[in-house]
Structure 1
């Protein structure tokens, strides 16, 4: 399962939902066997999707979100679970660490959290070029490894 988190009205904070859209479009137009791939746009409230995640019962969950980690816009990072609270994740109603702990306990899946350094998270409905390039690169990498 791949879950994108973010607010589509806050520029680069739309990274998560946008990558879900990109992966979907590429999978639909490819010959990749994606029968066991679930894409979830969790928007700004991923905690509202825990029942759905439990019902699907994935073995693996990739969480993708805009994360402030003081790097060049568009850079991405695999966020270590033990350090997750030291990073500034985008606009959410609950800390992402709570969600991860809950899903690990209730579903038992392996969770990988990918963060993309935003450039602009103001009230705009466009994503910066730097982040768009990273979205495309990450989407390709994920699809190649399905």
Structure 2
């Protein structure tokens, strides 16, 4: 599940990675029958019914996260520390969503954060973040 606002620069990272993974899976021989890609935009909580219906065993959440590192760096965010990080532009804390999905679906959730450079009102992703997106998409595909 990619989270982010495509009109706020690097906040578009989550949806962009979902798009890249989709393109790579469509053009590969990877068995993707059990892979569901979701662009949750800025309101991932609006997709909880859909996620419950899919009933995944695993869920990867991808979002821009401020963790004071070099732009384009990525991190696996530990659930216990999730509230200490500044996630991108959401209406609800990401920890609420994670707790709800773990309780209602029972899936294992991995949260990947990418350090943004610029989340102002621009419709392009910074070069630093854009160069990391491809690498992260490849890593996800290799591990699903």
Query: TM-score with structure 2 length normalisation?
Result: 0.99
Alignment of 1:102-117 (within 5 A): 102-117=100-115
Runs of 4+ in 1 over 4 A off after TM superposition: none
Deviation per residue, 1:61-84 (Å, 9 max, x gap): 000000000000000000000000
> Deviations along 1:64-118, whole A, 9 cap, x unmatched?
0000000000000000000000000000000000000000000000000000000
Spell out, residue by residue over 1:114-133, the C-alpha distance to the aligned partner (whole angstroms, 9 max, x if none): 00000000000000111111
Specify every segment of 5 or more residues in structure 1 that has no aligned partner in the other structure, as ranges.
none
1:29 Cα offset (Å): 0.6
Q: Would you say how many aligned residue pairs link Structure 1 and Structure 2?
A: 144
Output the TM-score relative to the length of structure 1: 0.98
Task: Give ranges in structure 2 of 5+ residues lacking alignment.
Answer: none
Question: 1:98, 1:29 → 2: CA distance?
Answer: 35
The 2-side partners of 1:102 and 1:78 are apart by: 19
How much does 1:58 deviate? 0.1
